[in-house]
A = this chain, B = another copy of it.
């Protein structure tokens, strides 16, 4: 089909031209004397994106799922009691992993469309006088439902209870897009991946850990090798890796971090919020609802849009894909058929959001939705003209 394939799933996101160019490379020697000239600055830049000044980051050739596993294997021990909550496919899978890896998981189930139950966490932590919980897990952005949770609230719950449990955060679809400050939030392990806010192909699991997590590592009793911190630390400090790294992705990561830091994290977050708001206004104009139950949970990186009861969201997605060359996100697990998702994160601008909304409108109209053509994209356009956009700095200026 002619024309760009429009990609509006919540990851992989659209790769910047600069990153694509940087990855179009011949292979290089990962034991060369000047290899650390490439790698050492990358570690520093990635830490800056997490706002992690006290700990360190690990770059695994894997995925966000791999980084989840790395976080658990390296800081906890089989049988440890942990506090988790689930309210969507990804928080659900993380619980599943924790259980399969032998943790004693205290799970709180919430409705899909809600976020981390901060109050319930607070109560449980206060009640845990013996500090049985070794870690508290929170999914910062539930990609399946478009819900952003209150990590600061979880931190407060820990602090108020004076509880030493580690704070483990899934930031796969938030870091680099939604406000996140690892130092300020006291997050011990923050998991991310290359294919979301980092604007790269999938293939890197990124784990940013605090000094407390590194401390906890010393007594962690999991058998581990591929994901082990110790092998990484030993070699990373010299600019190398314990096994062949995904050099091509490192070259891309270097450029992607430069782009994020040059734009400025606050500007990146503001851009995501403004673009997301355009999507939300469109959803409202269409007369539809988000899966996220309250505005406080609205995600700036992905919107899960609930279709009317007599419709199947999969028809919208399939129509957008086959007729309009546009990938929208599907509903996962229990919201399959009930929602379609628009990913609006990464290397994105107003015109791209308008493409997403236009394709969604066309697909919904084709599927018999009672939608006025242009209604959604129209309010987004109005929103974009009414709110300040960062003006282009011409290269010469």
Contact = CB atoms under 8 A, between A and B. Distances in A.
A15 to B, nearest CB: 6
A101 B269 CA distance: 41
A176 to B, nearest CB: 12
Interface string A223-247: 1111010000000000000111111
Contacts of A330: 31
A249 B351 contact: no
A31 B195 CA distance: 14
Contacts of A5: 26, 28-29
Interface string A22-33: 111111111111
Contact of A323 (B324, B377, B392): B392
A65 interface: yes
A37 B347 contact: no
A3 to B, nearest CB: 3
A3 B348 contact: yes
Interface stretch (A107-115, A206-214, A368-376): A368-376
Given A7-B28, A100-B223, A358-B350, A63 B325 contact: no
A66 interface: yes
Contact of A325 (B15, B21, B102, B351): B351
A33 B394 contact: yes
Contact of A78 (B37, B62, B223, B329): B223
Nearest to A201: B248
B11 A244 contact: yes
Nearest to A9: B29
Given A14-B27, A244-B202, A349-B324, A354 B377 contact: yes
A359 interface: yes
A16 B28 contact: no
Contacts of A11: 244
A327 B32 contact: yes
A226 B65 contact: yes
26 contacts: A4-B14, A12-B244, A14-B26, A15-B27, A21-B22, A21-B24, A23-B248, A27-B195, A29-B321, A34-B394, A34-B396, A61-B203, A65-B226, A100-B224, A100-B228, A195-B244, A201-B247, A202-B248, A203-B249, A326-B351, A350-B358, A352-B355, A354-B377, A358-B377, A362-B384, A373-B385
Given A12-B28, A23-B248, 17 more contacts: A2-B16, A2-B348, A3-B347, A3-B348, A3-B351, A20-B26, A21-B25, A28-B327, A65-B226, A65-B242, A193-B244, A201-B248, A323-B389, A361-B381, A365-B385, A374-B374, A377-B378
